Amino acid sequence: MSSRPEYYVPQPYDPYADDDPQGGWFNSDGFVPRRSQGYETAQGQVTPQGHAAPEGYDAPQGHVAPQGYDAPQAHDAAQGYDYDPRTSPYQQQDDQPTYALHTVAEPAAPAEPGYTVPETPEVGWDMAASRRRAWVSRAVLLFVLAVQAVLSLRLSNTAFQDEALYLAAGHAELQHLLHGTPLPIDYGAYFSGSPQLYPVLAAAVDGRFGLTGARVLSLAFMLGTTALLYSFTRRLFNERAALAGAALFAVVQSTIVMGYFATYDAAAVFLLALATWIVVRTDRAPVAAVLLAAPVAVLAVGVKYAAALYLPTIVVLALLTGWPHKGRKAFLRMLLLALGIGALLAAGMYSTDLLAGVRQTTTNRAHGSDSAAFLLQRSAQWGGLMFLTAVGGALSYVRRSRMNESPAAQRLGNPGWRWRALLGLVLCGTALLAPAYQMHLGTVVSLFKHVGFGLLFAAPMAGVGVTRLIGAHFRYPQLGIMLWTATLCLGIQQADWRFGVWPDSSKMIQVIDSHVDRKGHYLASTPEVPVYYLRDKTSHRQWQGVFALEYTDRKGTYHKGDAAYRAALRDGEFDLIVLDGLTNPRVDGVVAAAVKGNPHYRLLADLPFRNSSGTGHYRIWVKTA
């Protein structure tokens, strides 16, 4: 623009342009200079001050009276006589008051204007929170939660082996706590969370309301997580980002599935969200208030050991959220929280014997064979879109901190770009922790859930990303809608797929029901499932899985691995064999080969099923001799 040659162009709507370069329309004494012939001015016509339409004034010939405006003919000046009787001072001499003859105490006060233009505020709305805004956003949040609940509740399948394991363990632990019944196996030694926490709670619910009840408990945890996410994102940014973040988080696969999955995960995510919420909520409170988050965070780790991966994020958030309000005292806040968590963790480890379980399931977990590229691809599929939104939000937030259309927002003290960059880095970086750790372990097991843990932290930034995508004043709502719809479609499709990975076991349970008793010894691909469903008449101790077996045959020879399966089946060791062909297809093959032509066994049932990866079948053999 500036490179253009400067020359005057009358700006048609320039409010500051001079109305009349000839010296004004009205003179101070009410005299209106004569206008050229043909100019028609009607009595009573008020030309608003500031009227800037150039037409007609600069080109009188072209002036056209506005339609519907009829000037009374009587006032028309005679043709050729160039003066106006209404405006000529000579005609009205006698009407003028003679000031000299009057004593005027004071000049009359200027007439009250007919109306006043109120002082125009800079913005037409209040930036501060209001009751109405709070309720509107809560209503939207409620809608988001309703969508989340519907998405979770529409899933259906029989208990997955992990659910079955935790619930069965919970029942055993309950019996142990209430009646002192000895535990069938030491669950603590290989569980990835404390068997005394979530499993007991879930089993209590399961005992009363069944599997659906236990799953609805998880739904409650996940709905609580979304609500807490909304709350702390609102505190960090604003309602809009909070709603957008919650809406995205509510429809990703991990949230939908964990919300109807009776495992530790929902409880652990909820506790992490609660700890984060406490940290964010106490940003202005006395420094010590942050310690409230420590027991919650440690409880989250107790519920699921892997939750410890997210504690550093919470500790750093204690610093970041405190910084704008407390400055350097925020470091004290962080330190206090870290020490609190550390002390409680140490106390927990010292007082319980769960360390072995932690080692086996979490830190020293057996390394798998899933490639990093595969895990990366899966992570991208399951959380990539939301993560990208979060990264976009973080970048945009670093560039521009303003979170409100109101110009008043510009005058707010904003945290510096370093703080904003750090916040973005911490929140987005946390989403990468689980995929990175699983790549290190080389296993895809549970990755979909752990992706969800990370997305909880990335969600606030994703919320910012969505609000920035939509733009100020909802300029591009379609982009936000498209992003959410895409996330929703992916979430639904992936959740459906996930819930169909394992076969529906109801028929299998029905078939084996009459062949299971308190004495038998059974082999199954997923022993947890029958142990859970038939817990009234069988215990975990009677069941053998397909991952490891040690067997000493009748002649006293010790076998392990595949040979152990062959030897045990040759001896007719198991009274029932249930293979699904999915859990460990290799060992299933070994077992099926050993059963073929085996005089001890008869095929009891071949149950076809459909799962996410196509079709398969349960094969069930019963010992007949």
Query: Cβ(280)–Cβ(236) under 8 Å?
Result: yes
Segment interacting with other proteins (CB under 8 A) among 132-140, 284-292, 417-425, 509-517: 509-517
The 60-89 contact track toward other proteins, x by CB under 8 A, reads: --x-x-------------------------
List beta partners, residue 601. Answer: 623
**Among residues 57, 331, 437, 497, the one that binds other proteins under rule CB under 8 A:** 497
* 39 touches other proteins by CB under 8 A: no
**Among residues 515, 521, 559, 570, the one that binds other proteins under rule CB under 8 A:** 515
The 427-466 contact track toward other proteins, x by CB under 8 A, reads: -----------------x----------------------
Interatomic CA distance for residues 370 and 360, integer angstroms? 19
* 521 touches other proteins by CB under 8 A: no
Of residues 293 and 490, the one with the C-beta less far from other proteins = 490
Query: Cβ(328)–Cβ(381) under 8 Å?
Result: no
Q: Kindly give the interhelix angle for 585-595 and 562-570, rounded to the nearest 10 degrees.
A: 30
List beta partners, residue 614. Answer: 611
* 501 touches other proteins by CB under 8 A: yes
Segment interacting with other proteins (CB under 8 A) among 119-127, 209-217, 295-303, 504-512: 504-512
How near is the Cβ of 16 to other proteins at its closest, in Å?
Answer: 17
* 133 touches other proteins by CB under 8 A: no
How near is the Cβ of 431 to other proteins at its closest, in Å?
Answer: 18
Of residues 277 and 397, the one with the C-beta less far from other proteins = 397
Q: Residue 108, Cβ neighbours under 10 Å: how many?
A: 7
Six token digits for residue 440: 């290190």
* 138 touches other proteins by CB under 8 A: no
How near is the Cβ of 43 to other proteins at its closest, in Å?
Answer: 26
Query: Cβ(544)–Cβ(573) under 8 Å?
Result: no
* 399 touches other proteins by CB under 8 A: no
* 329 touches other proteins by CB under 8 A: no
* 625 touches other proteins by CB under 8 A: yes
- Using alpha carbons only, give the angle 289, 293, 295 rounded to the nearest 5 degrees: 120
Of residues 213 and 572, the one with the C-beta less far from other proteins = 572
Residue of 390, 375, 154, 155 lying closest to 249 (CA atoms): 390
Query: Cβ(476)–Cβ(470) under 8 Å?
Result: yes
Residues 568-577: b if buried by 16+ CB within 10 A, e if exposed = bbeeebbbbb
Residue of 269, 266, 244, 246 lying closest to 257 (CA atoms): 266
Count interface residues toward other proteins (CB under 8 A): 61
Six token digits for residue 115: 């109306």
Which residues have a Cβ under 8 Å from the Cβ of 485 and sit 6 or more positions away?
none
Six token digits for residue 13: 């709507």
> DSSP label at 360?
I
* 609 touches other proteins by CB under 8 A: yes
Interatomic CA distance for residues 70 and 79, integer angstroms? 19
Six token digits for residue 80: 């050729």
Of residues 262 and 287, the one with the C-beta less far from other proteins = 262
Interatomic CA distance for residues 460 and 228, integer angstroms? 11
Report DSSP letters for 22-64, one per residue. TT-SS-TTS------TT----TT----TT----TTTS-GGG--
Which residues have a Cβ under 8 Å from the Cβ of 3 and sit 6 or more positions away?
none
Interatomic CA distance for residues 546 and 199, integer angstroms? 24
Of residues 54 and 85, the one with the C-beta less far from other proteins = 54
* 613 touches other proteins by CB under 8 A: yes
Of residues 101 and 373, the one with the C-beta less far from other proteins = 373
How near is the Cβ of 465 to other proteins at its closest, in Å?
Answer: 10
Helix (H) or strand (E) holding 601: strand 601-611
* 539 touches other proteins by CB under 8 A: no
Of residues 189 and 479, the one with the C-beta less far from other proteins = 479
Of residues 200 and 595, the one with the C-beta less far from other proteins = 595
How near is the Cβ of 610 to other proteins at its closest, in Å?
Answer: 6
Q: Residue 126, Cβ neighbours under 10 Å: how many?
A: 12
Of residues 157 and 361, the one with the C-beta less far from other proteins = 157
Pairing of strands 614-623, 576-579: antiparallel
Could you tell me where the DSSP H helices lie in 184-259?
198-236, 239-251, 253-258
**Among residues 499, 533, 551, 574, the one that binds other proteins under rule CB under 8 A:** 499
**Among residues 145, 483, 531, 590, the one that binds other proteins under rule CB under 8 A:** 483
**Among residues 46, 59, 100, 105, the one that binds other proteins under rule CB under 8 A:** 59
* 514 touches other proteins by CB under 8 A: yes
The 335-374 contact track toward other proteins, x by CB under 8 A, reads: ----------------------------------------
* 57 touches other proteins by CB under 8 A: no
* Binding region for other proteins (CB under 8 A): 12-13, 54-55, 59, 62, 64, 156-157, 385, 444, 469, 471, 476, 478-479, 482-483, 485-486, 489-490, 492-493, 496-497, 499-501, 504, 507, 510-511, 514-515, 582, 596-617, 622, 624-625
